[in-house]
Structure 1
Amino acid sequence: MISKTLQLSNNRIAHYFEQGEGEPLVLIHGVGMQAAAWYPQIEYFSKDYRVISVDMPGHGQSTKLTDGAPLKAFVDWTIEFITALNLGAVNLAGHSMGSLITTGVSATRPDLVKRMAVLNGVYKRTTQARDAVVNRAEELKTGHIDIETPLQRWFGESEAEQIAAARVKSWLEDVDLSGYTTAYAAFAHGDQIYADDWAKIQCPALVLTGTDDPNSTAEMAIQMASQAQHGTAIVIENERHMVNLTAPDEVNNAMQAWLETKV
């Protein structure tokens, strides 16, 4: 992977990895992760596509946004990043919070998105689920990051899952606390902001999750896909929140079919 940076407005830096040639595929990770969190997809798709995996603001080497920035600020940042790449419309995929950003970009700037994919996304959480994630966002303001709880929630005990868990743990340990706190709050409060815009999305839309992800449920995936004009929902059995790492073959096959969808 080639490490690159783009200069954005207000002297902000966007850092990303790029690999391969061909039609552009832009990948946006979730809260607390880094651009490298798409490593199975970068390796697989860079054989035929120009894969660009970006550090979300306040993560990896990308400049953070102002404290308390809402989800729309992350969407606007991503729009600026894609525009600065000067590649025209891209295939855009997001995981977790990255899926909320992907939805926002696809709904507000359809000219920039050829196809969109949402992995382990959230859609109109229940009051109980929203309260739980908002409480976690508030706890971060105390300066403490709970790493073990999400690892236990996201990964099983198999060797493959534990290898992925070790990588995820290292990213969570390296994250900028301020950037992480701002992003998590935007994620916690962002599930409804673009939820009613799914009907506007006309490009091919893949919505994927695992049956064992209690926060990004199969029901959410089906609802999102049903709202889009050309949506497809895929639910992978016995998989949790980090499905792109724990079931890379199934995810890559689903994304390959999505990328081959005519537009």
Structure 2
Amino acid sequence: MAIHGFYIKVNGIKIYCETNNGPDDGNVIICLHTAGRENRQYHDMMEILQDKYKMISFDMPAHGKSWPLPGNKVINNYVDYGKFVWSVIEELGVKDPIVIGCSMGGNIVYHIAQEYPVKAICSMQGADYTPTINEDILELLNHPYVNPQHSHLEFSECLIGKATTQERKDFILWGVLSEIGITKQGDLTQYNGFDVRDKMDQIKCPVLVVHGLDDKIATGEMAEQTISRLTNCENLVYKPIPDYGHFILVENPELVSEYLDEFIRTL
């Protein structure tokens, strides 16, 4: 396998990264995982595109193999989340990155495009406004009498598209069983408070939107409403995918990789 892991230190925190060791003389793709999960979600895409693009995925603080913030704290707002993502990109020495993300990561790429100098973004299952999580659920994600891995298993399962293979469905559900309550609580708190609608007209870089239409929490309607506010970006491509859902990068990495490759070749 071409994927290799390594650590960097960002703001004093050990951050775990992986790369597919793609070409050094072209575009570099920075990959952001979904809420509560980690960078293994990108393995299939990284292998599919390894001969075309260098891709770097990483675990945000308190996710996967990365260390948490000092005092075992987590990030719980999108502004700090975006700042940390950009600090990782700077530490990696990547200039003009193409930043892609799914779900929580699909949201934050819009904020990053508003605030930082990116070459392009790709939002998968993202939106510019996602007040979709009940406050009582958020509180119970880090409660001593609640097991978040089991309490959220059926919720995550209902977000998977009907065409997803059992093997990929199993991997997605294993991701739920690997989650940390306080980390998921922080992620969904910032997801619930995510609202960058008033700055969407400031995004001028090319934007690719890939959206699995079986998603019950980040719906196709939300994607279309978000797209309607991208009034000044120089190139906007929308790729809706029927029969696949919230974890589109895992559910159908072949089609997502095809769309991403087509998009990048237009830059």
TM-score (norm 1): 0.88
The equivalent residue for 2:91 is 84
Aligned mates of 1:260, 1:133 — CA distance in 2 = 41
CA contact under 8 A between 1:5 and 1:16: conserved in structure 2?
Answer: yes
What amino acid is the match of 2:15? A
The equivalent residue for 1:16 is 17
Q: Does 1:70 align with 2:71?
A: no
CA contact under 8 A between 1:18 and 1:52: conserved in structure 2?
Answer: yes
The equivalent residue for 1:215 is 217
- Indicate the larger mover: 79-88 or 67-76: 67-76
Q: Does 1:225 align with 2:227?
A: yes
Aligned mates of 1:175, 1:28 — CA distance in 2 = 16
Provide, for residues 215-258 of structure 1, a one-character-per-residue CA deviation record: whole Å limited to 9, x for no partner: 21112222323322232221111211112222222211111111
CA contact under 8 A between 1:25 and 1:92: conserved in structure 2?
Answer: yes
Given the superposition, is the C-alpha separation of residues 204 and 156 from structure 1 closer, same or farther in structure 2, using an over 3 Å criterion? closer
Given the superposition, is the C-alpha separation of residues 14 and 203 from structure 1 closer, same or farther in structure 2, using an over 3 Å criterion? same
Deviation at 1:75, TM superposition (A): 0.7
Give me the CA root mean square deviation: 1.9
CA contact under 8 A between 1:221 and 1:233: conserved in structure 2?
Answer: no
Provide, for residues 23-78 of structure 1, a one-character-per-residue CA deviation record: whole Å limited to 9, x for no partner: 21110011121101112211111211111011122111122243463121111100
CA contact under 8 A between 1:122 and 1:215: conserved in structure 2?
Answer: no
Aligned mates of 2:83, 2:247 — CA distance in 1 = 25
The equivalent residue for 1:101 is 108
Identity of aligned residues (%): 19
What amino acid is the match of 1:123? D
After the TM superposition, which residues 126-205 of structure 1 pair with which residues of structure 2 at under 5 Å, given as runs? 130=131, 132-143=133-144, 144-145=147-148, 146-155=151-160, 161-190=165-194, 192=195, 194-205=196-207
The equivalent residue for 1:253 is 258
Aligned mates of 1:135, 1:119 — CA distance in 2 = 27
Deviation at 1:90, TM superposition (A): 0.6
Aligned mates of 1:226, 1:131 — CA distance in 2 = 20
CA contact under 8 A between 2:161 and 2:243: conserved in structure 1?
Answer: no
What amino acid is the match of 2:33? H
Deviation at 1:122, TM superposition (A): 2.8
Q: Which has the higher helix share?
A: 1
What amino acid is the match of 2:4? I
After the TM superposition, which residues 104-115 of structure 1 pair with which residues of structure 2 at under 5 Å, given as runs? 104-109=111-116, 111=117, 113-115=118-120
Aligned mates of 1:3, 1:51 — CA distance in 2 = 12
From 234, 242, 249, the counterpart of 1:244: 249
Unaligned 5+ runs, structure 1: none
Aligned mates of 1:34, 1:178 — CA distance in 2 = 15
What amino acid is the match of 1:225? I
Given the superposition, is the C-alpha separation of residues 63 and 195 from structure 1 closer, same or farther in structure 2, using an over 3 Å criterion? farther
Matched pairs, number? 252
The equivalent residue for 1:206 is 208
CA contact under 8 A between 2:161 and 2:212: conserved in structure 1?
Answer: no
The equivalent residue for 1:3 is 5
Given the superposition, is the C-alpha separation of residues 206 and 133 from structure 1 closer, same or farther in structure 2, using an over 3 Å criterion? farther
What amino acid is the match of 2:58? V
Given the superposition, is the C-alpha separation of residues 18 and 131 from structure 1 closer, same or farther in structure 2, using an over 3 Å criterion? closer
The equivalent residue for 1:61 is 65
Q: Does 1:51 align with 2:58?
A: no
Find the residue that maps to 1:154 and give its secondary structure: coil
Aligned mates of 1:124, 1:74 — CA distance in 2 = 16
Aligned mates of 2:92, 2:102 — CA distance in 1 = 21
